[in-house]
Structure 1
């Protein structure tokens, strides 16, 4: 094992800093992973790369970047009996206290303790050659699920899956996805597998709209919001979609999702940031719509999704458009920040 390793930090102002840091040693209950794939998330761009928010769950503490890690176990700390050296694992990227109400039900993302720490935000993340992780946060990759698949599940696909579960998507439902960036593409892909009879996407960027069409993830793609009413009306006989999922964080797209949710339908918002203003009586109360907020996913649902991907023979890495080495991290972040690509991933070897 080398004494030091290459790593990337994000000092803000749309810059990337290459550093060398010590390779950590796993303590009790911990494992050391050799990184194989580490994704770049929209939250990294919005809250760290461009400008440090510096508060709450998104308070960046100057650590190694990257909260979508997947790698191979290379060393076990004392007391770890659930994993083996050489095993590929995806890492649930938040370490909780383990005893608060949210942690007890498997949602460390909502941990209320001051000790809560997320990889890439408050503890070192996956944009390095090695990663120190808690064994309890490491989920083995099923046969057929790649390291890149696993990295995408740790945040974006997990977030989409949780939102779809919150809405109870099934074959009875037509699904509207507003925003076809990486999380929206994930929602469309998984929504089909969960049985949505029709998937409609709203995405104004032509490259992302074209990608959704080319991958056959949606039945109808709308690029002009002014055309959405006709598209949803034609697809649903004027009723609206039983389920809508906003993955954009854009105020107009959020209102569009609510507007085109059918009476007694379910609208879920997973896109971070921003604000929204809408006519509560018209869009929510009188239509009796259930409006949900959904934040990442649980350990249990993340494990469930990994298993389902293996059973379905599905690969999240289908939405990856750009792969970079760690040495090319500056280019990787610039591409992700441009907002025109599919998923951008830093990879090692043949991940």
Structure 2
């Protein structure tokens, strides 16, 4: 590609995840050329998601269309447009964007609603899973998955919104969290931190959190994501006033049971954390208590755009949850840190 549009090489670095807790950094990945409706981004930041660790880094859990296809990893990218393909109408060289991490067919009922995550077509492809993702110097992206960043937000902010903060926001909006609510967040990893910070901006009266990792609990308090960190015993005790809403970000059966048990009658709960199972007495725990249970999977392009606009108004920077930053060549260290489950968010920032 020469030096056109700010691209200085025809090869780039890319991080791959072969499984078995390994990372491979290749430095001979071809820099792609944007086709119709596509843009080439110079990656400004690409954060690591818990799903990357759970379902790709440790072992390849998905199969078929949900499987990892030996592509450049990373589904939480943000960057700057350096080249545009034919038919690109909204973006131009220099545009700063966050990337919604699924490209869909654009035609099915889910895509029409903006929920590319739920696209029912074989054409559906997730960045970092079925198509090259953001753990690289450059990323080829569909224009319709790119949302421009307000000037007040950084690339690291945008990367945090690409999945984690948007996922938390979707759940809170679907729960209708407002100043009438007290909220419990189970699991204070990056998504749990996002849920607490956003709930505060939405007016939640009080936000409680719980997590077995003391480091994460301390970070949640330090960032102001929660007002109190309580143990499961505290939450089940006679002195605790049940909450009106809960978000489970733990993906664990104990975390989910804790959240469900802490709800008041007519309470609402969103399941966000992936994996695992839960069993409960449907009549006693849900029906007789008039509980509403919601499964919330990522978000829509429209709601992600809405969140970026609100973050600008709120002057909230998602990058506050990023505890560690690494160059691409340090991907192995970054993934080991995230796998330990005790830090905040980790970001890969190409040098």
Q: TM-score, normalised by structure 1?
A: 0.96
1:235 CA drift (Å): 5.5
Match of 1:138 in 2: 146
The structure 1 residue matched to 2:38, chosen from 9, 30, 37, is 30
Distance 1:58 1:182, change over 3 A: farther
Per-residue Cα deviation, 1:284-328 (whole angstroms, up to 9, x for no partner): 100111100000000000000000000000001111100000011
SS of alignment partner, residue 80 of structure 1: coil
The structure 2 residue matched to 1:178, chosen from 169, 176, 186, is 186
Instruction: Let me know the Cα RMSD of the aligned residues.
Output: 1.1
SS of alignment partner, residue 80 of structure 2: strand
**CA distance, structure 2, for counterparts of residue 31 and residue 235 of structure 1:** 52
Runs of 4+ in 1 over 6 A off after TM superposition: none
**Contact 1:67/1:93 (CA < 8 Å) preserved in 2?**
yes
Match of 1:106 in 2: 114
SS of alignment partner, residue 276 of structure 2: coil
1:227 CA drift (Å): 2.1
1:260 CA drift (Å): 1.1
**CA distance, structure 1, for counterparts of residue 328 and residue 142 of structure 2:** 23
Per-residue Cα deviation, 1:216-243 (whole angstroms, up to 9, x for no partner): 2211102x3222223xx6453xxx1111
- State yes or no: 1:8 paired with 2:15: yes
The structure 2 residue matched to 1:207, chosen from 212, 215, 220, is 215
After TM superposition, the structure 1 = structure 2 runs for residues 232-251 of structure 1, keeping only pairs within 5 Å, are 234=239, 236=241, 240-251=242-253
1:348 CA drift (Å): 3.2
SS of alignment partner, residue 150 of structure 1: helix
Match of 2:51 in 1: 43
**Contact 1:175/1:198 (CA < 8 Å) preserved in 2?**
yes
The structure 1 residue matched to 2:347, chosen from 317, 339, 345, is 345
**CA distance, structure 1, for counterparts of residue 323 and residue 96 of structure 2:** 23
Match of 2:236 in 1: 229
The structure 1 residue matched to 2:96, chosen from 81, 88, 94, is 88
Match of 2:274 in 1: 272
The structure 2 residue matched to 1:77, chosen from 62, 79, 85, is 85
1:54 CA drift (Å): 3.1
After TM superposition, the structure 1 = structure 2 runs for residues 151-162 of structure 1, keeping only pairs within 5 Å, are 151-162=159-170
Match of 1:261 in 2: 263
SS of alignment partner, residue 18 of structure 1: strand
SS of alignment partner, residue 247 of structure 2: strand
The structure 1 residue matched to 2:317, chosen from 315, 318, 337, is 315
**Contact 2:65/2:122 (CA < 8 Å) preserved in 1?**
no
Which range moved further: 100-109 or 213-222? Answer: 213-222
Per-residue Cα deviation, 1:69-88 (whole angstroms, up to 9, x for no partner): 00000000001120111111
**CA distance, structure 2, for counterparts of residue 158 and residue 57 of structure 1:** 23
SS of alignment partner, residue 158 of structure 2: helix
The structure 1 residue matched to 2:174, chosen from 143, 154, 166, is 166
Per-residue Cα deviation, 1:315-343 (whole angstroms, up to 9, x for no partner): 01111100000011110100010100000
Per-residue Cα deviation, 1:246-301 (whole angstroms, up to 9, x for no partner): 00001011011111111111100000001111111111100111100000000000
1:104 CA drift (Å): 0.7
1:57 CA drift (Å): 6.0
SS of alignment partner, residue 131 of structure 1: strand
SS of alignment partner, residue 102 of structure 1: helix
Q: Aligned pair count? A: 343
- Structure 1: give runs of 5+ residues left out of the alignment: none
Q: TM-score, normalised by structure 2?
A: 0.96
SS of alignment partner, residue 219 of structure 2: helix
